[in-house]
Amino acid sequence: MDESEVQQKRRENEEQATMGRARILGLPYLDTRRFENEIPLVPDLLTVEEMHKNYMIPLQKGGGEEHYQFMVTSQTPRTVLEQMTRTYNDEGERVDFFLISGSAYKVFMLRYDPPRVVHYDDIKIAGEGDSETIASVSQTLAQVSTEKVFDFLIDQADKLGASDIHIENMRTEIRIRMRVDGLLHPVANIDKDKYRIFMGELSSRANVSAASNKPQSGHMQKEIHRDGATHMLNIRVETIPTMYGQDAVLRLFNFDESLLNLDLLGLSDEERGEINEVISHPRGLVLMVGPTGSGKSTTLYSMINALNTSDRKIITLEDPIEYGITGISQIPINTTDGGSFAEGLRSVLRLDPDVVMVGEIRDADTAKTAIQASITGHLVLSSFHANSTSAAFSRMIDLIGVNPIFSSSIRLIMAQRLVRKLADSKKARPATEAEAKYIREVLEGVPQEKLGGANLENITLYDPVKTEEDPFGYQGRTMIMEQLIVSDDIQAYIRGDVADINTDAIEETARKNGMLTLEQKGVLAVLRGDTTLEEISRVI
């Protein structure tokens, strides 16, 4: 039985019940299904407010001008019927009432009082010191109906390309900020009453408690319909009690499998070739490092998607699962409730996977288990918290110790950052003496073929130009990636062949082998006109 048949059956049952109720109330029963969408409306007999208040619909003037007919429901007060009968009779007019079902009443009311489509102004991001925009957005949010404020904020954040929505309790109001292109921007200040509604929605949708005095994590999904297309937002919800109430952060992940593609990450041919070379092998450990919000998950998922073929068994262990990908076994690991990546990894290795992704290596147990898996015929991908590839390699040695057996397990470490990309309105200018000196120092020793044709004698830089379309002079973000290929010289640090194991020594060895650091990659992006030195300084 399809949905329409279910609805018809439900309506039939309701009409039968209404027929029985009509006999009890002593009113004639009227089945309106044949004409409820076509019969002409009767204006001016009752106001819309009266129809809502008394659950009553005018039917027609029939049998002459003095004959009036109304449709009523079981919720119509008997006192109203009695009063109307007396009024019409006193004026020498006749009135009849017919009992209809609640569904019939709703159909008629949608015709008499169709829902109003309200179009609210789009949210605009305020510039520094722009209190007028904040006041304007605050006023818009105050006007949005209470049941829609939650959806409106998420929809607007998605429209702005925001990665996070921050809802923060202040003493007298609630501050809303959105993170766009990596920077937090104030959006609005709203009344505390709106926040209670917001938290109520969060409680029911993300399965968090509005009354909890402990930090909580939740998850929800929301379909976004825009310009004739639909996409799915995955939303991770984090709440924490503060002095004036629970603060909430909503992290938005635009779920679209087609976007999880290595071709869309803006990698150079060399960077893409190094990744392809490593992940095409059946075993080894690949680490992705960087701070929160640097795009680690997107890159890892894109690698997983590239490996996602029918002849491979791929399993992921995640806390929480950020993107659902067809054809992959994804296992949630609730580390806040006692679960561990190491224990989960040991369990899934019994399922004979070809590729395993571990959400994050956080301790020695997980690190050793991942490395053991990588030398026994599995390709293991994971994220790791460190500032650079060399720092990650050094920290990994701290976790697992010097071990010749493990020396060939780690094959590639990638560190990445996302920097704001200059909009097309950018303006060229010659570099200052200090800027030119800094750029030449950073790129000293880099082979000419890796400079991408950059002219280090007459250096041209670009500044952001603010326009109405791009109020900050930036539009979107671009990736800066550092790749440490674990060559024999780098393996020597794990084997114990090198006495002095530190980040600087590992980085120097990697640079001799041709690695470009994050800072060097960033400066090259500046010379290409993709971003600014200020952005590189802020992020890297």
Cβ neighbours, 10 Å, residue 348: 19
Predicted confidence at residue 33, as pLDDT, reads 92
Predicted confidence at residue 116, as pLDDT, reads 64
> Residues 111-139: pLDDT tens digits?
888 876 656 667 777 766 677 788 888 88
Residue 430 burial (C-beta neighbours within 10 Å; 0-12, 13-18, 19+): exposed
Q: Residues with Cβ < 8 Å from 285, sequence gap 6 or more? A: 370, 371, 374, 380, 381, 382, 409, 410, 411
Return d(Cα 345, Cα 276) in angstroms, integer: 24
Nearest to 319 by CA among 342, 286, 287, 353: 342
Q: What is the pTM of this model?
A: 0.71
Assigned token pair, 502? 């530190």
Predicted confidence at residue 93, as pLDDT, reads 85
Predicted confidence at residue 515, as pLDDT, reads 95
Return d(Cα 517, Cα 389) in angstroms, integer: 9
Place of tokens 């952060």: 249
From first to last of the 540 residues of the chain, give the pLDDT tens digit.
566 777 888 899 999 999 999 999 999 999 999 898 888 888 878 888 899 999 999 988 755 567 889 999 999 999 999 999 998 888 888 889 999 999 999 999 988 888 766 566 677 777 666 777 888 888 878 777 766 888 888 988 998 889 999 999 998 889 999 998 888 999 988 888 777 777 888 888 888 888 888 999 888 888 888 777 778 888 889 999 999 889 999 999 876 677 788 888 888 888 999 999 998 889 999 999 998 888 898 899 999 999 999 999 999 999 878 778 889 999 998 877 777 899 999 999 999 999 999 999 999 999 999 999 999 889 999 999 899 999 999 999 999 989 888 888 999 999 999 999 999 999 999 999 999 999 999 999 898 888 888 888 889 999 999 888 888 899 889 999 999 999 999 999 999 898 888 999 999 999 999 999 999 999 999 999 999 999 999 998
Q: Residues with Cβ < 8 Å from 246, sequence gap 6 or more? A: 169, 199, 210, 212, 239, 240
518 with 512: CB under 8 angstroms?
no
Return d(Cα 96, Cα 77) in angstroms, integer: 15
> Residues 443-493: pLDDT tens digits?
998 988 888 888 888 899 999 998 888 888 998 899 999 999 999 999 999
